[in-house]
Amino acid sequence: MKEDRIFQERRARINELRAKNERLTCRERALMSVKHQEPDRVPIDNWMVPEIQKKTMEYFGCDSYNELLDFLGVDFRNNYGPSYVGQSFKKHPDGTVEDLWGVKRKTVVYGKGTAHQGSYSEVAESPLEKIQTLEEIKKYDHWASPEWWDYSKVKADCQLYHPRYCVINVGDRMDRTAQLKPMMYLRGIQQIFIDMVMNPAVVEFIRDRIIEYFVTYNHRVFSAVEGEIDIFMMGDDIGGQTGPLLSLDMWRRYFKQGFKTYIEIAHTYGIPVMYHTCGDVRQFIPDFIECGLDILQSLQPRATNMDIKKLKEEFGKDITFQGAMDIQQVLPLGKPEDVKAMAKYALDSAKKGGGYIICTAHNIQVDTPIENVVALFETYHEHGNY
Q: What is the pLDDT of residues 224-244, one digit of tens each?
A: 999 999 999 999 999 999 999
Average pLDDT over residues 126-138: 96
- The answer to whether residue 105 is domain-embedded is no
Contacts of 323 (CB under 8 A, 6+ apart): 297, 298, 299, 300, 301, 357, 358, 359, 360, 361
Q: Please report, for the domain that includes residue 320, its CATH number.
A: 3.20.20.210
Residue 368 to residue 109: CA distance in whole angstroms: 17
- The answer to whether residue 122 is domain-embedded is no
- Per-residue pLDDT of 36-87, as tens digits, reads 999 999 999 999 999 999 999 999 999 999 999 999 999 999 999 987 655 5
Q: What are the φ and ψ backbone dihedral angles of 357, each rounded to 5 degrees?
A: -120, 125
Query: Which pLDDT score is estimated for 84?
Result: 64
- The answer to whether residue 118 is domain-embedded is no
The three-point CA angle 319-168-57 to 5° equals 115
Query: Which pLDDT score is estimated for 85?
Result: 57
Query: Which pLDDT score is estimated for 101?
Result: 93
- The answer to whether residue 168 is domain-embedded is yes
Q: Is pLDDT larger for residue 191 or for residue 82?
A: 191
DSSP 213-253: HHHHHHHHHHHHHTT--SEEEEE---B-SSSBSS-HHHHHH
Domain around 19: 2-86+129-383
The β-bridge relationship of strands 149-150 and 118-125 is unpaired
- The answer to whether residue 292 is domain-embedded is yes
- The answer to whether residue 333 is domain-embedded is yes
Helices (H), the chain: 2-21, 26-34, 50-60, 65-72, 134-138, 154-159, 180-187, 189-198, 200-225, 248-254, 256-268, 285-290, 308-315, 330-333, 336-350, 370-383
Query: Which pLDDT score is estimated for 88?
Result: 65
Res. 19 pLDDT band, cuts 50 70 90: confident
Tell which residue, 160, 164, 157, has the closest CA to residue 81.
Answer: 157
Counting the structural domains of the chain, the total is 1
- The answer to whether residue 91 is domain-embedded is no
Contacts of 211 (CB under 8 A, 6+ apart): 179, 258, 261
Residue 167 to residue 160: CA distance in whole angstroms: 10
- Per-residue pLDDT of 170-185, as tens digits, reads 987 667 999 999 999 9
Query: Which pLDDT score is estimated for 117?
Result: 86
- The answer to whether residue 113 is domain-embedded is no
